[in-house]
Amino acid sequence: MLFTDPVFLFAFLPASLVLYLLARRTFGGRAAILVLLACSIFFYGYWSVKYLSLLLGQILVNYLFARKLTRSQSRALLWTAIAVNLALLGYFKYRNFFLENVGLLTGWQLHLSLLFVPLGISFHTFQQITFLTDVADGEEDVPPLPQFMLFVIFFPQLIAGPIVLHREMGRQLTEVVAGKESTAGTFGPGFALFCFGLFKKVCLADNIAPFVDTAFQWPLHLQFIEAWAAAIGYALQLFFDFSGYSDMAVGLGLMFGFLLPFNFNVPFAATSMTEYWKRWHITMTRFFTMYCYTPLALAAHRVVDERGYSRIRAFALCIAVPTMITFLASGLWHGAGWTFIVFGLVNGLGLLINHAWREAKMPHLPRVLAWALTMVTILVTLVYFRSDSLAQAHSILRSMFMPEHILLPLWADALAAKIGVSVGFFEVFQAANFTAHFMLLIVLFAPLAVLLPNPAMKPKKTSPSLPLAFAVAGMIWLTLGLLGQPRTFLYFQF
Amino acid sequence: MSDASREEILAKLEDIFRSVFADDRIVLTEGTTAADVTGWDSLQQIKIILACEKKLGIRLRARDINALENVGEMITHLQTALAKTSRKQ
């Protein structure tokens, strides 16, 4: 059940809202939590009953681990719990990739069964690991089981995040149980934000997607202009798709009275790679920073401080190693494939250059140049991210950066003559109306992606007004007309 | 140092920030966040924490670094760490 599915929009969502609010008003917070839990279990079970039992089993095992960790705070037990979670993730998500590569290295003929990855496993497994770590460090108490289950399985954030920390959700759930909070002030902003996210997904991301798909289908036939349009188009599609989903998640949370963390802060306005990763998929970056980068980098800094290494060795140990390990893990988290690994490594390399530039106290680049360099790096990483194989990615990148010639399509011969460029046959962009439509979408969407602030950052400050009402009504009107064929959210595959 | 006031710690933090970011114009308040100081990222955060450890004679964990979302929270953490250190002594 996608957030864009009419079954979700017109049946599940209104029914679960009514049931939740009724339970809260009639039977109190504890009953409301149970109703919301039941709705969330139904939401996941609607997709797969088989994998619902896996999810519930994982939650129960982690709850038992957490109870034990409260008493002992043993590091061995924490590592065991983390290993169990990662083993589960590894089995479902990475076993074929691992076996394929073992087969390639050894020449063994391995018969691989079709991989079926349980929906949202990367997201909720990470969320449960953060909880276990927080409990082991004595920072979080273990709540009653229904509250813990809802913390993991709350349907707005279950499938593709945001990855919520227990300290963000636990207090809010306790307040519901105590009957303190109400949804009165948050429903309106939540609804507006949900509509905004729905609009981004259905009207923007899904509109540009067919053009991007066509371009990526013919990597060997792309001309210079086509390759750049494919990369930019995909960046816009991914941004509107995932940020649209994230806005919908935060909006849904608010409709039920819960504030979830936001995931995007105008990432394509970033003027450096470090800034980009502070703005893109923020809750995932936070996870990797907290649980991978910081412990590694802090340990390395202490060693370097103690032993007094040279600047280059210090840079390698304190910055390069933790950054590359973190981005390798982040790449692998996105998917089991070499394209994702290279996606992570190119990002890591971009960050290293960024850090090296700063550590060497090089002069600040002009803002426009810094922005352009950052965006080009991001486009390169996203070509890997979108491609099915390294060969496909390299073919597109070759057309972008090492074209044999720069041509304009035959139908643009008048323009070509004016600017002194040759024309040639374009296999992908051969139809003028296809190209004009694609270019128009890029020209319209790019400024929105670069300039539009994210309303999910301060959702409670959205106050009702006539312009907002018209904007929301307009977005609903446009969205309803396009709801017929919703595409799945890109991040659901992770 | 264990009974250091928030103002005293804020002043020390300001010195540390100016040195880490090589910018004498930095002025901190308890509400200052990473978004307010250009270049304040996870790497600079580690440098700030290590400088705090040296200046205040305390030891912090990776978790303490992660929990710090603004200067006010940082001061609270440092006060707690200072109190723990003085109890041990």
DSSP letters along A422-472, please? -EE--SSS-SHHHHHHHHHHHHHHHHHHHH---GGGSGGG----HHHHHHH
Domain B6-82 sits in CATH 2.40.37.10: no
- The stretches in chain B having pLDDT less than 50 are 1-2
How does pLDDT run across A335-393, given as a tens digit for each residue? 888 999 999 999 999 999 999 998 888 888 999 999 999 999 999 999 999 999 999 99
Closest Cβ–Cβ partner in A137, A290, A297 for B46: A297
CA-angle at A66, arms to A63 and A71, nearest 5°: 135
Q: Complex ipTM, two decimals? A: 0.82
Q: Judge whether A69 and A77 are in contact, CB under 8 Å.
A: yes
pLDDT for residue A143: 94
Neighbours of B70 (CB within 10 A): 16
How many A-B residue pairs are in contact by the CB < 8 A criterion? 38
Min Cα distance B41 → chain A (Å) is 7
Active site residue A355: no
End-to-end alpha-carbon separation of chain B, Å? Answer: 12
Name the residue ranges covered by the structural domains of chain B.
6-82
Min Cα distance B3 → chain A (Å) is 24
B24 touches chain A (CB under 8 A): no
Per-residue pLDDT for A403 more than 90? Answer: no
pLDDT for residue A224: 87
Residue with tokens 């945001």: A162
**What does the alpha-carbon distance between residue A426 and residue A412 come to, in Å, rounded to a whole number?**
11
- Residue B33's SS3 state is strand
Closest Cβ–Cβ partner in A278, A298, A302 for B41: A278
How does pLDDT run across A477-490, given as a tens digit for each residue? 888 877 766 666 66
Q: Judge whether A462 and A188 are in contact, CB under 8 Å.
A: yes
**What does the alpha-carbon distance between residue B18 and residue A233 come to, in Å, rounded to a whole number?**
42
- Residue A158's SS3 state is helix
Quote the distance between the C-alpha of residue A289 and its chain's center.
Answer: 15
Chain B residues near residue A302 by CB distance under 8 angstroms: 50
Choose, from A124, A166, A281, A334, the residue flagged as catalytic. Answer: A334
> Which of A335, A330, A345 lies closest to A381, judged by CA?
A345
Looking at every residue in chain A, the average pLDDT score rounds to 88
Across A249-269, average pLDDT: 92
pLDDT for residue B2: 46
CB-CB under 8 Å, A289 with B42: yes
Q: Where are the alpha helices (DSSP H) in A112-180?
A: 121-136, 145-153, 155-158, 166-177
B38 touches chain A (CB under 8 A): no
Closest Cβ–Cβ partner in B39, B46, B50 for A294: B46
Neighbours of A427 (CB within 10 A): 12
B47 touches chain A (CB under 8 A): yes
Is the full-model pTM beyond 0.90? no
Q: Judge whether A412 and A264 are in contact, CB under 8 Å.
A: no
How does pLDDT run across A140-184, given as a tens digit for each residue? 899 999 999 999 999 999 888 799 999 899 989 998 988 876 656
CB-CB under 8 Å, B22 with A295: no
Q: In which band, very low, low, confident or very high, does the pLDDT at A324 lie, cut at 50, 70 and 90?
A: very high
Q: In which band, very low, low, confident or very high, does the pLDDT at A319 lie, cut at 50, 70 and 90?
A: very high
- Residue A409's SS3 state is strand
Q: Judge whether A153 and A37 are in contact, CB under 8 Å.
A: yes
pLDDT for residue A477: 82
pLDDT for residue B1: 46
pLDDT for residue A87: 94
Q: In which band, very low, low, confident or very high, does the pLDDT at A311 lie, cut at 50, 70 and 90?
A: confident
Percent of chain A whose pLDDT exceeds 70: 96
Per-residue pLDDT for A437 more than 80? Answer: yes
Among A26-40, A430-444, A454-468, top mean pLDDT goes to A26-40
Per-residue pLDDT for A255 more than 90? Answer: yes
**Least confident residue range of A20-29, A171-180, A282-291, A433-442:** A433-442
